[in-house]
Amino acid sequence: MQACGIIVEYNPFHYGHQHHLKKAKEISGATCIIACMSGNFLQRGEPAIIDKFKRTQMAIDQGVDIVIELPYAHTVQHSDQFAYGAVNLLNELGVSSICFGSEQGDISSFFKSYQAYQENKEDFDSTLKQELALGKSFPLASNVAFEAIGLGHTNNSLDLSKPNNILGFSYVKSIHAIDPSIKAITIKRLQSSYHDQTITSPYASATSIRHELIKQQAFTATVSPTLPASSKHYLETYKHETGIWHTWEAYFSLLQYRVLTMSAEELQMIHGVDEGFEHRLKRTAKDVMSFQEWIDILKTKRYTQTRIQRMFVHLLTNTSKAAIHSIQVDKKAPYIRLLGMSQQGKDYLNQTKKNRTVPIMTQLNRNIPMMMTLDERATDAYYAVIPRHLRKQLRMQEFQPPYQT
Q: Which residues are annotated as a binding site?
A: 7-20, 101, 164, 189
Q: Which of 103, 99, 78 is nearest to 36 (CA)?
A: 99
Please state the closest distance from residue 26 (CB atom) to a second copy, in A. 43
The nearer residue to a second copy, 207 or 317, going by C-beta atoms, is: 317
254: contact with a second copy by CB under 8 A: yes
Yes or no: say if 101 and 188 are a contact pair by the CB < 8 Å rule. yes
Question: Hey, which residues does 340 pair with through a beta bridge?
Answer: 67, 403
Cβ atoms within 10 Å, residue 136: 18
Yes or no: say if 358 and 18 are a contact pair by the CB < 8 Å rule. no
Q: Identify residue 148 by its one-letter amino acid code.
A: A
164: contact with a second copy by CB under 8 A: no
CA 61/CA 404 separation, integer angstroms: 10
The nearer residue to a second copy, 291 or 303, going by C-beta atoms, is: 291
- Of positions 286, 301, 331, 353, contacts a second copy by CB under 8 A: 286
198: contact with a second copy by CB under 8 A: no
Parallel, antiparallel or unpaired: strands 3-8 and 32-38: parallel
From the annotation, which residues make up the binding site for ATP?
A: 7-20, 101, 164, 189
Stretch binding a second copy (CB under 8 A), from 143-151, 194-202, 235-243, 387-395: 387-395
Please state the closest distance from residue 56 (CB atom) to a second copy, in A. 22
Contacts from 146-152 at CB under 8 Å and sequence distance 24+?
Answer: 148/123, 148/124, 149/116, 149/117, 149/120, 149/123, 149/124, 150/116, 150/120, 151/113, 151/116, 151/117
Yes or no: say if 175 and 167 are a contact pair by the CB < 8 Å rule. no
CA 126/CA 302 separation, integer angstroms: 18
- Of positions 261, 355, 357, 367, contacts a second copy by CB under 8 A: 261
Stretch binding a second copy (CB under 8 A), from 73-81, 159-167, 250-258, 305-313: 250-258
256: contact with a second copy by CB under 8 A: yes
Cβ atoms within 10 Å, residue 43: 23
Q: Percentage helix, strand, coil, to 5, in the chain?
A: 55, 10, 35
257: contact with a second copy by CB under 8 A: yes
Cβ atoms within 10 Å, residue 316: 21
- Of positions 80, 147, 196, 266, contacts a second copy by CB under 8 A: 266
The nearer residue to a second copy, 197 or 263, going by C-beta atoms, is: 263
280: contact with a second copy by CB under 8 A: no
Tally the residues of the chain. 405
Stretch binding a second copy (CB under 8 A), from 49-57, 113-121, 124-132, 285-293: 285-293
CA 168/CA 99 separation, integer angstroms: 9
- Cβ-in-10-Å burial (0-12, 13-18, 19+) of 218 comes to exposed
Binding mask 290-329 toward a second copy (x if CB under 8 A, else -) reads x-------------------------xxx-----------
Please state the closest distance from residue 263 (CB atom) to a second copy, in A. 8
Number of residues that bind a second copy (CB under 8 A): 28
Please state the closest distance from residue 330 (CB atom) to a second copy, in A. 24
- Of positions 122, 133, 388, 401, contacts a second copy by CB under 8 A: 388
The nearer residue to a second copy, 216 or 290, going by C-beta atoms, is: 290
- Of positions 287, 301, 353, 401, contacts a second copy by CB under 8 A: 287
391: contact with a second copy by CB under 8 A: yes
CA angle 22, 213, 53 (to 5 degrees): 60
Peptide bond into 387 cis (omega under 30): no
Could you list the residues that contact a second copy (CB under 8 A)? 252-254, 256-257, 260-263, 266, 286-290, 316-318, 373, 377, 380-381, 384, 388-389, 391-392, 395
